[in-house]
Amino acid sequence: MAELPEAAKKLLDEPQLAHFVTLMKDGSPQVTPVWVTHDGNNVIVNTAEGRQKPRNLRRDPRVAVSVVDKNNPFRYVLVRGRVADIVGGEEAWQSIEALSQKYNGRPYPRREGEERLMIKIEPEHVTVRSPE
C-alpha cells in the first residue's frame, strides 16, 4: 500500500471533482466524474447499487482516481489502487451526506429505494503535483 502524501490529502479535502476509472468486462476503462474524499489512508468515493461501477468493482477491484485542481491544472493527484472494501447501509448514507455537504453545502436528496455504497480504495501508486 502506498501512503497518501499530505499534498494529496489537502487536494482530496477540497470540493474538487474526481474522475474514477473502473474496468469493464472486456478490460476497457469506464470513467465517471465523482465526488471524492479520504479517511487518511484510503481514497473514498460513493455510488449507488445497480450502476456500472459496482458491477465492475465486484469483478475487478483495480481502479484509478484523478483529481485536478479546477483553479490550477498543474496541481493534481493521481491514484492507482484496488478496492479494499465496499460498504453499504447507514455508513454509506453518512458518506454521501458528508460528500453532499462538502460539494453542495446541503443534504443529499434521498431517493426511495436507492442503496448507497461507499467505496474504499487502497492506494498502490500515488502521484502528486503541487506547485506552490
Tell the CATH topology of 6-129.
Pnp Oxidase; Chain A (2.30.110)
- The residue type found at 111 is R
The residues near 96 (Cβ < 8 Å, ≥ 6 apart) are 46, 108, 116, 118
For the chain, domain boundaries: 6-129
CB distance 65 to 38 below 8 Å:
no
**Poorest-pLDDT segment among 4-13, 28-37, 92-101, 109-118:** 109-118
Give the single-character DSSP code of 49: T
- The residue type found at 21 is V
Categorize the per-residue pLDDT at 131 as very low, low, confident or very high, splitting at 50, 70 and 90. Answer: confident
As a whole number of angstroms, the distance between CA 34 and CA 47 comes to 8
Tell whether the model's pLDDT for residue 106 goes beyond 90: yes
